[in-house]
């Protein structure tokens, strides 16, 4: 069994909603620690994500609107900082209760959780609480989710569509990039629009990270990366975690749970062929997406690796080695 470091999951949000402990095996959702062990997933980036409302539906199809050429999911505007701060602290408390949070790259394979903010709304626009989050164990920050905030603009959920969807970073966003570089925080560009992506690429001194995405050439949804974006990740010695979501990997953008694993493997192989095996990894988005039946919880992760006709060394890079390289280059502790 090949050890896996997974680039993204939303299990904390599921635990917050359900009251479950991630230390115990569940029949709900996609991920808990017992099922991680079954799938050889030794560690993952556990997202702190603040939903728009406490009772926001977990199924993104609920607000789906058909358009003349596809579909879109209307999103609400920016979140109030006070609400984001409160819920983020509640999610962090679950992580501290249930997980072994790691802050050193050499400890990742022996821990199980890297603490990540998916959307920087819990960070004050003047960054006055960023060091507090860092001291709490935060080691990865996504500037945005798919909505605007004080730092930048996320891409919409639309098919088909381009990531070129509006303005780039704000002054606060540019300050966050500088501060993250100084602290040694991973900057995750997942959900960020194209202009913001290239502004971070021009300003950041760290390897670029996109924790959970696919190739736009294979699925033309704004969340996926164009060839120019992929090339820029390569040039920074960064990494892209390939998402397991059917909507983001199928050519037609449809939610079809019978989608074969080969569809996800095609994104892995496309990115590896385009920018090299050293720059592709896994970023499941478990508990935040719709993976195919053959990969419908974390215990089945090894099945995806088995679809690839790669050498053991290549699979090890994909499964954990590329994440570890980027963390060693980024984290200062």
Q: What is the pLDDT of residue 56?
A: 64
The residue whose two tokens read 């999103």 is 75
SS3 210: strand
| Mean pLDDT, the chain, whole residue set | 94
Which pLDDT band, with edges at 50, 70 and 90, does 64 fall under?
low
Which pLDDT band, with edges at 50, 70 and 90, does 67 fall under?
confident
- The total of other beta-carbon atoms located within 10 Å of residue 271's CB is 28
Which of 49-53, 83-87, 203-207, 319-323 is predicted least confidently? Answer: 49-53
Q: What is the pLDDT of residue 111?
A: 85
Question: Does 69 have pLDDT greater than 90?
Answer: no
Per-residue pLDDT tens for 297-328? 999 999 999 999 999 999 999 999 999 999 99
Q: If you average pLDDT over residues 257-281, what whole number do you get?
A: 98
Q: Which residue has the higher pLDDT, 207 or 110?
A: 207
Q: What is the pLDDT of residue 203?
A: 97
Question: Does 22 have pLDDT greater than 60?
Answer: yes
**What is the share, in percent, of the chain residues with pLDDT greater than 70?**
95
Question: Does 43 have pLDDT greater than 70?
Answer: yes
Q: What is the pLDDT of residue 315?
A: 98
Q: What is the pLDDT of residue 71?
A: 67
* Crossing angle between the packed helical segments 11-18 and 81-98, to the nearest 10 degrees: 90
Short-list 311, 285, 183, CA closest to 224: 285
Which pLDDT band, with edges at 50, 70 and 90, does 332 fall under?
confident
Which pLDDT band, with edges at 50, 70 and 90, does 63 fall under?
low
Question: Does 60 have pLDDT greater than 60?
Answer: no
Calpha distance 41→35 (Å, rounded): 9
Q: If you average pLDDT over residues 247-274, what whole number do you get?
A: 97
Q: If you average pLDDT over residues 190-201, what whole number do you get?
A: 98
Q: Which residue has the higher pLDDT, 151 or 60?
A: 151
Q: Using CA atoms of 88, 94, 97, 99 in order, give the dihedral in degrees to the nearest 10.
A: -100
Per the structure block, which two tokens stand in for 321? 């080695």
Question: Does 57 have pLDDT greater than 80?
Answer: no
- Determine contact, residues 157/223, Cβ cutoff 8 Å: yes
Q: If you average pLDDT over residues 268-273, what whole number do you get?
A: 98
Per-residue pLDDT tens for 135-167? 999 999 999 999 999 999 999 989 999 999 989
Question: Does 55 have pLDDT greater than 90?
Answer: no
Per-residue pLDDT tens for 24-36? 999 999 999 999 9
Domains of the chain: 4-330 (3.20.20.140)
Q: What is the pLDDT of residue 59?
A: 63
Short-list 280, 287, 216, 281, CA closest to 245: 287
Q: What is the pLDDT of residue 52?
A: 80
Calpha distance 164→17 (Å, rounded): 33
């Amino acid at each position: 069994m090949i050890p896996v470091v997974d680039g993204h999951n939303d299990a904390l949000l599921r635990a917050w909603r359900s009251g479950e402990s991630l230390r115990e095996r569940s029949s709900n959702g996609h991920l808990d620690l017992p099922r991680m062990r079954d799938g050889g997933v030794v560690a993952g980036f556990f997202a702190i994500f603040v939903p728009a409302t406490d009772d926001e539906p977990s199924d993104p199809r609920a607000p789906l609107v058909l358009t003349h050429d596809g579909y879109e999911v209307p999103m609400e505007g920016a979140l109030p900082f006070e609400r984001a701060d409160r819920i983020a602290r509640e999610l962090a408390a679950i992580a501290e209760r249930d997980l072994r949070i790691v802050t050193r790259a050499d400890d990742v394979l022996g821990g199980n959780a890297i603490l990540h903010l998916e959307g920087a709304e819990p960070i004050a626009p003047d960054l006055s609480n960023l060091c507090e989050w860092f001291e709490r164990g935060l080691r990865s920050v996504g500037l945005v989710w798919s909505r605007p905030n004080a730092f930048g603009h996320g891409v919409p959920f639309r098919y088909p569509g381009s990531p070129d969807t509006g303005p780039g970073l704000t002054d606060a966003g540019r300050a966050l990039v500088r501060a993250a570089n100084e602290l040694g925080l991973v900057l995750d560009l997942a959900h960020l629009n194209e202009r913001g992506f290239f502004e971070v690429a021009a300003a950041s001194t760290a390897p670029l990270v996109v924790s959970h995405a696919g190739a736009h050439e294979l699925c033309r949804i704004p969340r996926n990366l164009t060839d120019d974006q992929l090339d820029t990740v390569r040039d920074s010695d960064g990494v892209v975690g390939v998402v397991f979501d059917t909507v983001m990997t199928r050519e037609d953008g449809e939610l079809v749970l019978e989608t074969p694993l080969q569809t996800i493997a095609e994104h892995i192989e496309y990115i590896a062929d385009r920018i090299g095996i050293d720059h592709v990894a896994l970023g499941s988005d478990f508990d935040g997406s719709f993976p195919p039946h053959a990969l419908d919880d974390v215990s089945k992760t090894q099945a995806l690796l088995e679809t690839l006709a790669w050498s053991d060394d290549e699979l090890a890079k994909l499964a954990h080695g590329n994440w570890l390289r980027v963390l060693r280059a980024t984290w200062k502790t």
